[in-house]
Amino acid sequence: MTDSDSNFDFVVVGGGSAGSVVARRLAEETDASVLVLENGDGDADAPSLYDPTRWVENVGSAFDYGYSYTPHPATHDRRHPLARGKLLGGSGGINALVWTRGHQADYDEWAASGNVGWDFESVLPLLKRSEDWEDGESRLHGSGGPVHVERAKDLHPVAAALIEAGQSMGMPYLDDVTVAAPEGVGPVTMNIRDGRRVNPWDAYVTPLRNRNRLTVVTGARVQKVVLSGGRCTGVEYVVDGEQVTASALTEVVLSAGAIDTPRLLMLSGIGPAGDLAAAGIETNVDLPDVGQNLQEHPFLASLCFDANGPLPAPNNNLEGSVAFWKSRPDISRPDLMFVSMQIPFVTPEIGAQYTIPEKGFCIAPGLSRPQSRGYVKMREGGELEIQPNLLQDEADIAALADGVEIGFDMANGPGFREIAKRLVAPGSSMTRAETVSFIRDAAMPYFHPVGTCAMGTVVDPGLRVYGVDGLRIADASVMPTIVSSYPHATTVMIGEFASRLLTS
Ligand SMILES: Cc1cc2nc3c(=O)[nH]c(=O)nc-3n(C[C@H](O)[C@H](O)[C@H](O)COP(=O)(O)OP(=O)(O)OC[C@H]3O[C@@H](n4cnc5c(N)ncnc54)[C@H](O)[C@@H]3O)c2cc1C
C-alpha cells in the first residue's frame, strides 16, 4: 500500500450489521473516500449462511469468533458460548434472522434519559428507511429499503401451536409483530427473501461495491485507533501478517460490535484508567464506563416435549412465531418473549437430567427486559473478560419463573395439546426452589450483547466518543438499555442514525 492508498476521509472498522449501513450511505451520499476494514472473510459462503433452517450451524463455525461468557453462580457457573459473526455482514450474517423492533417506550426512555433525537417518533423514519416490507409502505413500515422483511410463511405445527395457545390465554393476535407496542402473539418477521437470508452487507453494500471511492479490506484486524493531540487520526491494523496504518482525515467510525468496540477503545488507552493500568495499557482518556452496562437477553432452553407423532421437517428459522407478554398484569409493557422451537433444544445440564427425545420440540420463555447488568473488562495480559451477570438480579429470576408458569399454561392449552405426547423437561409440578434451579440450568444467552459503550456515558447522542475528536461509534454497543425485543433491526437503525449525521 502506498501513502496515498492509506489516507481516507473515513475509516469504518467492521463491516457488520451497522458498519454495512455506514459504508453504504457514505459511499452513496458523499464524495468522500471510505475505507472499510473487516476482520472476517470476504468470500464467506456456506449453505448455513443463507438457509434459515440451518442458522444454528453457524454457531461455533469458522464464521463465529466463538467467544464465551465468564461463568457466574446465578447460572450455576456454566460457561455460555457467545457467538459473534466474523464475516462481511457480521453477526447479521449468522443470526437467527428475526427482524423486530423494540417497543416504542424503549426508544422514548433513551430520549428521556438525555439522548435527544432517539425517541420513537424520531427514529421511526430510520427504522423504515432500512426496510422493504412485504406489504409495502405504511405509517410504520418502509418499502424499497435494502432489507426485505416478511412474515414467516407456511407455519410449522409447532409455530402455529404457540399462536393458538397464546390466543387461548387471551393474547391478542398480531398479524404484524413489528408494531409500535407489540403485546400478543403472531408469525415472526424476518429478513428473508425467496427463502434466503438477507445479509446486511449483501443488502447494503454489494450493490455499490464498485464505487471507486469505497475500499474494502477483509482479513484486516484493527488493533487500535491512533490518537494525536486529543484527536483520532486513523487506525492500525494487521492484514496478511503486515502492520498497516490508515489515516482518517475526517473520522473513524467504530462498528466492531458490543464486544470488540470496547476492546478496541481499551487497547487504544480509552477506558477505565485503573483497569487499563492493571492490564499494562497507558491511559489516553480515562472513560470509566467503557465496557460497563453489558446487557443480554436470557431464555430458557427449555420446556421440552415429546411429540405425539411425526412432525414435518423444521422450517423458517426453526421458530416461526413469537409472543410478547407481561410476567405480571400490573407492569406497563411486556417483559417476556416466548418462542417455540421445532427441535428439542436444551442445555447440556438439562440434557443430563432428563431423557430428551430425538423428535421433540420446545417452548422457550425468555426475558425481554432483563435487569441484570454485566461488563467487558480488560485483564492483565490483554485478555478480555466478558461477564453478563445473567440472572444475577433476583427480579430476572422472578420474571422467568412467571414465564415458566405461562409456558406450562400454554402447553396445556389448545395447540400444543394436539401435538405433544408429554412434557419431558422439566417436571410439571416443581417447588419454587426446583423452578429456580431449573431456570439456572436451562438459561442461555440469546447472543444479544449490547450497551458496552452506552450513549450518555461513553458516547454523546451524536455517537461521538467523549474526550476524543474524530471518533464515533455506530453499533449495538451504544444502546443505553437493551430493546425489549430482538436487537438487529435497531442496530441497523443505529447505523442509519450515524450515517445521517455523517452525510449531512
Ligand atoms: C447466532 C446469533 C443469533 C442472533 N439472532 C438474532 C435474531 O434472530 N434477531 C436479532 O435481532 N438479533 C439476533 N442476534 C443479534 C444481532 O445479530 C446483533 O445484535 C447485531 O448483528 C450486532 O450488530 P453490530 O453491528 O453491533 O455488530 P456485528 O454485526 O457483530 O459487526 C461487527 C463486525 O466487526 C468486525 N470486527 C470485530 N472486531 C474487528 C477488528 N478488530 N477489526 C476489524 N473488524 C472487526 C466483525 O468481524 C464483524 O463483522 C443474533 C446474534 C447471533 C450471533
How far does residue 1's CA lie from ligand 1's centre (Å)?
Answer: 29
Query: What beta strand segments (E) does 455-498 contain?
Result: 471-473
How far does residue 7's CA lie from ligand 1's centre (Å)?
Answer: 27
Q: Which domains does the chain have, with CATH numbers?
A: 4-44+200-294+452-503 (3.50.50.60)
Smallest CA separation from ligand 1 atom 3, residue: 95
Give the mean pLDDT of 480-484.
98
pLDDT at residue 288, rounded to an integer: 98
Which ligand 1 atom sits nearest the alpha carbon of residue 37?
Answer: 43
Q: Which residues neighbour 80 within 8 Å (Cβ) at sequence distance 6 or greater?
A: 68, 69, 71, 388, 390, 444, 445
CB-ligand 1 contact for 365 (6 Å cutoff) = no
| pLDDT band for position 5 (cuts 50, 70, 90) | low
Percent of the chain with pLDDT over 90: 95
336 pLDDT higher than 60: yes
Q: For residue range 239-287, what is the model confidence (pLDDT) as tens digits?
A: 999 999 999 999 999 999 999 999 999 999 999 999 999 999 999 999 9
| pLDDT band for position 212 (cuts 50, 70, 90) | confident
DSSP code of residue 407: H
Spatial distance between the Cα atoms of 392 and 75, rounded to a whole number of angstroms:
8
| pLDDT band for position 315 (cuts 50, 70, 90) | very high
Q: Residue 87: helix, strand or coil by DSSP?
A: strand
Q: For residue range 382-404, what is the model confidence (pLDDT) as tens digits?
A: 789 999 999 999 999 999 999 99
Q: For residue range 167-204, what is the model confidence (pLDDT) as tens digits?
A: 999 999 999 999 999 999 999 999 999 999 999 999 99
Query: What beta strand segments (E) does 342-398 contain?
Result: 360-367, 374-378, 384-387
pLDDT at residue 103, rounded to an integer: 98
How far does residue 41's CA lie from ligand 1's centre (Å)?
Answer: 14
If one residue of 91, 223, 259, 296 were mutated to test the ligand 1 pocket, choosing by the most ligand atoms within 8 A of its CB, it would be 91
Give the mean pLDDT of 214-227.
97
Q: Hey, CA dihedral for 89, 91, 97, 98, is it positive or negative?
A: negative
1 pLDDT higher than 70: no
How far does residue 90's CA lie from ligand 1's centre (Å)?
Answer: 5
pLDDT at residue 7, rounded to an integer: 96
pLDDT at residue 96, rounded to an integer: 98
Q: For residue range 340-356, what is the model confidence (pLDDT) as tens digits?
A: 999 999 999 999 999 99
Give the mean pLDDT of 454-480.
98
Which ligand 1 atom sits nearest the alpha carbon of residue 223?
Answer: 41
Mean model confidence pLDDT for the chain = 96
41 pLDDT higher than 90: no
140 pLDDT higher than 90: yes
Q: Which of 141, 148, 156, 448 is catalytic?
A: 448
How far does residue 89's CA lie from ligand 1's centre (Å)?
Answer: 8
Smallest CA separation from ligand 1 atom 1, residue: 95
CB-ligand 1 contact for 222 (6 Å cutoff) = yes
* Residue 57 · residue 96 · CB < 8 Å: no
Q: Render 269-318 in DSSP notation, one character per residue.
A: TEE-HHHHHHTT---SEE-TTTTEEEB--EEES-EEEEESS--PPP-TTS
408 pLDDT higher than 80: yes
Which ligand 1 atom sits nearest the alpha carbon of residue 14?
Answer: 34
| pLDDT band for position 441 (cuts 50, 70, 90) | very high
Give the mean pLDDT of 416-430.
92
4 pLDDT higher than 90: no
* Residue 223 · residue 112 · CB < 8 Å: no
380 pLDDT higher than 90: no
Smallest CA separation from ligand 1 atom 27, residue: 257
The question of whether 448 is a catalytic residue gets the answer: yes
- Our CA dihedral for 334, 406, 374, 116, rounded to 10 degrees, sits at 0
Cell of 412: 396445556
